[in-house]
Amino acid sequence: MQRTESPPTCIQTSPRNAHEPALTVLLTADQIRDRVRELAADINRTYPAGRSLHLVSVLKGGFIFLADLVRALNRQVTIDFVAVSSYGAGTRSSGEVKLVKDLEIGIEDRDVLLVEDIVDTGQTLAWLRTTLGARRPRSLCVVSLLDKPSRRIVEVDIEHVGFTIEDRFVVGYGLDCAERFRHLPFVAVLDRSADDPADVPSGDLEER
Ligand code: IMP
């Protein structure tokens, strides 16, 4: 039996009222799936066959990307998570990075692949590279689904980039705005020009 249903509100791309921010799809689920496969193939070529890889995902935004990426890799992987916070107002980061959750597994002599959702100013990644690099992994590389180079304050190396995007605030596929929209299967630009209920008051500790 065929059922006719209205689309779920989670993929509504126009605002329902003046206070609801509009979403414009930037990267479809198909585009993301294809690019994740290409990234996995690049990563597979980077390391010798049979070498296991230790993936460190940066919570929370990287969790969906990590889940798709590991299933496209052709080798043994181990996984760990790190969580950091930055002081900032809503979508802005002050650059002061704090460790909220440390790794559970030591990374010394491991081939570590840091899995990021997005690199914006570069301050978080620069801090993570320094902090994790000091623990003497055998190698430390970064894969980021998204990169916003026009926003960069600190120069950082990113070995594998999924998509380079303009200076737009994006949500979906793990990325949030005040904890909303992470579940969306696509990446969308969030129009924050309207009155923004999702903004966080200045000075609040904003967990990423
Ligand atoms: P950075 O230290 O400025 O590079 O900040 C990186 C972090 O800021 C990301 O891992 C995200 O948590 C957050 N971020 C930056 N831009 C966006 C965005 O467009 N959407 C959602 N989160 C973002």
Q: Is the pLDDT of residue 56 over 50?
A: yes
Beta-ladder partners of 113: 55, 141
- Summarised one tens digit per residue, pLDDT across range 147-188 is 999 999 999 999 999 999 999 999 999 999 999 999 999 999
Using CA atoms, how far apart are residues 2 and 13, in angstroms rounded to an integer? 25
From the list 68, 111, 117, 120, the catalytic residue is 120
| The 22-27 sheet, strands edge to edge | 22-27, 187-191, 170-171
Q: Ligand 1 centre from 118 Cα, in Å?
A: 6
Using CA atoms, how far apart are residues 27 and 14, in angstroms rounded to an integer? 16
Beta-ladder partners of 97: 86
Q: Which amino acid is at 71?
A: R
Half-sphere exposure of 15 (CA within 13 A, CB side): 15
pLDDT of res. 195: 46
Predicted TM-score (pTM) of this structure: 0.85
- Give the rounded percent of residues in the chain with a pLDDT score beyond 90: 74
Contact 158, 144 (CB under 8 A): yes
Annotated active-site residue 120? The verdict is: yes
Contact 169, 192 (CB under 8 A): yes
Name every protein residue with a CB atom under 6 angstroms from any ligand 1 atom. 61, 93, 116-125, 169-171, 175, 208
176 Cα nearest atom in ligand 1: 21
Domains and CATH numbers, the chain: 30-85+94-168 (3.40.50.2020)
pLDDT of res. 154: 95
